[in-house]
Amino acid sequence: MEFEPVIGLEVHAQLKTRSKIFCGCSTEFGAEPNTHVCPICLGMPGVLPVLNKKVVEYALRMAIATHCRISPESRFARKNYFYPDLPKGYQISQYELPIALAGYIDIELNGHNKRIGITRIHMEEDAGKLLHDPDQSFSRVDLNRTGVPLIEIVSEPDMRSPEEAGAYLRKLRSLLRYLDICDGNMEEGSFRCDANVSIRPAGTETLGTRTELKNLNSFKHVEKAIAYEINRQKDVVMDGGQIFQETLLWNPDKGQTTSMRSKEEAHDYRYFPDPDLLPLMVDDDWVQQITQSLPELPDAKRERFSTAHGLPAYDAEVLTSSRELADYFESCLEDYSNPKQVSNWIMGSLLALLNAEGKDIQQSPIAPRALAALLKLIDGNVISGKIAKTVFDEMARTGKPPETIVQEKGLVQVTDSSEIEQIVQKVLARNPKEVSDYQNGKEKVFGFFVGQVMRESKGKANPQRVNEILKIQIDVSSDRQ
C-alpha cells in the first residue's frame, strides 16, 4: 500500500526585543544565571504584568509578512501546568484569540513552488531553563529566560515530505531575519520547531493520527527525524498496528525517536483569559504604519533580482536567501556592472569558501569592493579567469587587495605576442611527434598544445592570444616541412 506523509510544524521564534514581554528585565543571552529577573518574571504574588509594545509590533511584522488576517482584538490566556522552570505555575500565551490567523508563505523546492498555509501566529512568554549536570544528583534552575517574548507560528498540515518541511523552515527563518525580529539560531534555541507527522493511504483525504516530535535543534535533525518517523509509522501500520497520538523525543545520537509522554489535550491546561491583562486592540493605522516600514522581503527581492539584474531563477533564489547575502551582491554591483559574473563568483568560489570555513556572509574575508576589483582585473585582461581563482584564494588568506597580490606574485596576464610566440615555438620544438600528428589531420592535438603553452606560462598567457598564435605558428611549421 502507498502512503502519503502529512506534516505540520509549530515554530517558536524568540523575538529580539531588548526587554522581556511583561517586565523591564533584559533579554540578553548568556548572562549569569538568575541575574535578569524581577518580581514579575519570577511570578511573585501581587505583581502585575505590563505588555511590551515592541513585542506586539514584531509579531505584527511577521503577521503582515505572512499575509495573515490581523485580529483587531486579541487576548492573553493562562496555560496552567507545573514545571520547575515555570515559577508562576502558568504560561501567559494567546489561545482562543491570537493576534493573527490564516496566512501563508510560498516555498520553492526543486524548481517547484508550493504554498504552505499558516494557521495562526500568537505571542507568548518563554519559560526558564533547567541545567542538568550529569555529575550531580540535582538540577539547577535559571530563570533569565522566563518572560522572554516568543511568537509561535503554527502551520497547516500542508507539507508532504521532510524536504518540504526543511524548505518551509528555511523560508520562515529567512523571513524572520529579513524582518530583523529574530536571530533564527536553532542551535541556541532562538528558533525552535516541533514537527507533527502522520501518514494516510495515498489518494485519501482524512488525516491520520499524528505524533509530535520534539528536540529538533538543527535543520538536519528536523528532516532526519521526520523521515525516521514516517518510516516508523509505515512499519507499524504495515504490521497491522495502530498509531497513538503521543509526543516523541528525537535522539540525534541514536537517530531514532523515543516516546516522551502521551499527548496532552488542550483542556488539560485549563486555559482561561488572564485577568491581569487587558484585551489587546490593534487598529488599522498601526498596521498601515508597520506595513510601510517593512523592508523588501525575500519574494519581492527575488523577483527584482530576476527582472532588474537579469539573473536566472536559481541565482536569484540563492542570492536572496538572506538579506545580508543579497546586500553583499548589490554592494558588488556598485563597483562592477556585470550581475551574472558577480553571481557566479559569489555562488561558486565565495559560498564554497564560507561553507568550508563555517562562516556566514557577514564574516566574509573578502569585502564586496575587493571582489568587484578582482572581476575588473579579469575584464581588463590584466589576469585570466584561471589566475583570478588563485588571486581569490590569496585574498581570502591574506586579506590583501587583488591588485597587490597580482603585483607581488607577478601574475599579470601575458598578452604580449612576442612573449607568447617564444613559448609556442618552444612547445612545438619539444613535441615533434604531436606536430606531425597534427599535420596528418589529427586536429585534436591542438588542445594538447594549448594546454602545454598555458602550463609553460604558469597559467598567465592570455588563452585567446595563445590560440591565435598557435594556429599561425603550427601552420608555418607545416609549410616548412
Distance of CA 12 to the CA centre of its chain: 16
| DSSP-derived 3-state class of residue 277 | coil
Residues 62, 73: Cα–Cα separation, whole Å: 17
Determine whether 410 is exposed, middle or buried from the number of CB atoms within 10 Å of its CB (0-12, 13-18, 19+): exposed
Query: One-letter amino acid identity for 107?
Result: I
Query: What single-letter DSSP state applies at residue 215?
Result: E
Interface map 205-224 toward ligand ADP (x if CB under 6 A): --xx-x-x------------
Per CB under 5 A, residues contacting Zn ion are 23, 25, 38, 40-41
> Which is nearer to ligand ADP, 9 or 326 (by Cβ)?
9
Cα–Cα distance for residue pair 148/24, rounded to 1 Å: 10
Long-range contacts (CB closer than 8 Å, 24 or more residues apart) made by 328-331 = 328/361, 328/364, 328/368, 329/305, 329/368, 331/368, 331/369
We find the least distance from the C-beta atom of residue 38 to Zn ion, in angstroms, to be 3
Using CB under 5 A, which residues numbered 4 to 23 contact Mg ion?
10
Q: Of 145 and 210, which has the nearer Cβ to ligand ADP?
A: 210
Interface pick for ligand ADP out of 14, 27, 144, 198 (rule CB under 6 A): 198
| Residues 5-44, mask of contacts with ligand ADP (x by CB under 6 A) | -xxxxx----------------------------------
Q: Which one, of 331, 425, 410, 413, lies nearest residue 380 by Cα?
A: 413
Cα–Cα distance, 281 to 426 (Å, whole number): 84
Q: How far is the CB of 390 from ligand ADP (least distance, A)?
A: 50
Q: Which of ligand ADP, Mg ion, Zn ion, none sits in contact with 157, Cβ below 5 to 8 A by type?
A: ligand ADP
What is each CA distance from 398 to 147, 387, 401, 404, in whole angstroms? Answer: 45, 16, 9, 11
> Among ligand ADP, Mg ion, Zn ion, none, what does residue 25 contact (CB within 5–8 Å per kind)?
Zn ion
Strands 149-155 and 129-132: unpaired
- Which residue's CB is nearer to Zn ion, number 144 or number 452? 144
94: phi then psi, degrees, rounded to nearest 5: -90, 135
Q: Which is nearer to Mg ion, 245 or 417 (CB)?
A: 245
Q: Can you tell me which residue has the cell 514579575?
A: 40
Q: Which residue matches cell numbers 590584466? A: 382
Q: Which is nearer to Zn ion, 39 or 241 (CB)?
A: 39
- Least gap, CB of 139 to Mg ion (angstroms): 25
Residue nearer to ligand ADP on the CB measure, 142 or 152: 152
Cβ nearer to Mg ion, comparing 233 with 384: 233
401 binds, among ligand ADP, Zn ion, Mg ion, none (CB under 5 to 8 A by kind): none
**Per-residue DSSP letter, 347:** I
Binding partner of residue 302 among Mg ion, Zn ion, ligand ADP, none, CB cut-off 5 to 8 Å per kind: none
Q: How far is the CB of 51 from Zn ion (least distance, A)?
A: 13
* Residue 464 amino acid letter: Q
When the beta carbons of 207 and 472 are compared against ligand ADP, the nearer one is 207
The one of Mg ion, Zn ion, ligand ADP, none whose footprint includes residue 60, by CB under 5 to 8 A per kind, is none
Shortest distance, position 370 Cβ to Mg ion, whole Å: 48
Residues of span 146-175 touching ligand ADP by CB under 6 A: 154-157
Q: Is 297 helix (H, G, I), strand (E, B) or coil?
A: coil
- With binding defined as CB under 6 A, does residue 103 bind ligand ADP? no
Cα 337 to Cα 343, 373, 377: the distances in Å are 11, 11, 13
Q: Fill in the amino acid letter for 214.
A: K
Instruction: Please say which residue, 9 or 371, places its beta carbon nearer to ligand ADP.
Output: 9
Chain residues that interact with Mg ion, rule: CB under 5 A? 10
Contacting residues toward ligand ADP, per CB under 6 A? 6-10, 154-157, 196-198, 207-208, 210, 212
